[in-house]
Amino acid sequence: MILDERSYLIKPEHVKDYLDTYVAEGMALQVSHLGDLVGWFTTDCGVVNEVVHIWRYQDMGDRERRRAAMEADPAWQAFRKKTSGYVMQMRNRILRPTSFSPMK
């Protein structure tokens, strides 16, 4: 199992717009392709115009197949085009649980 942590720095005046558009147009589409959503978060301290989402995959091959299918979907491309102006920076990390992690 791996976790894909993705964070987006959103223009401060557009955080609500980004989240509202995601819920209305992107979430069902993304879940249909990626599957196991661990959670979506906003930050409350530090950088407060950041959104973070985490997805669980069986392995890197599972992640690559699912993300490739999503990227090939014209509806996903339309959503990304609509929201790309809100995004200032993107970051992605792959997290692997340790042998003693409660999440495996």
**Per-residue model confidence as pLDDT tens digits over 63-95:** 999 999 999 999 999 999 999 999 999 999 999
pTM higher than 0.85 for the full model? yes
- Reported as a single tens digit per residue, the pLDDT across 8-32 is 999 999 999 999 999 999 999 999 9
CA nearest to 60, candidates 95, 33, 35? 95
- 34-46 tens-digit pLDDT: 999 999 999 999 9
The fold of 2-95 is Alpha-Beta Plaits (3.30.70)
- How many whole angstroms separate alpha carbon 42 and alpha carbon 49? 8
**What is the predicted pLDDT for the residue at 85?**
97
Map residue 35 onto helix, strand or coil.
coil
Show me where the domains of the chain are located: 2-95
Task: Find all residues with CB under 8 Å of 64, minimum gap 6, and list them.
Answer: none
Q: In angstroms, rounded to a whole number, what is the distance separating the alpha carbons of residues 65 and 62?
A: 5
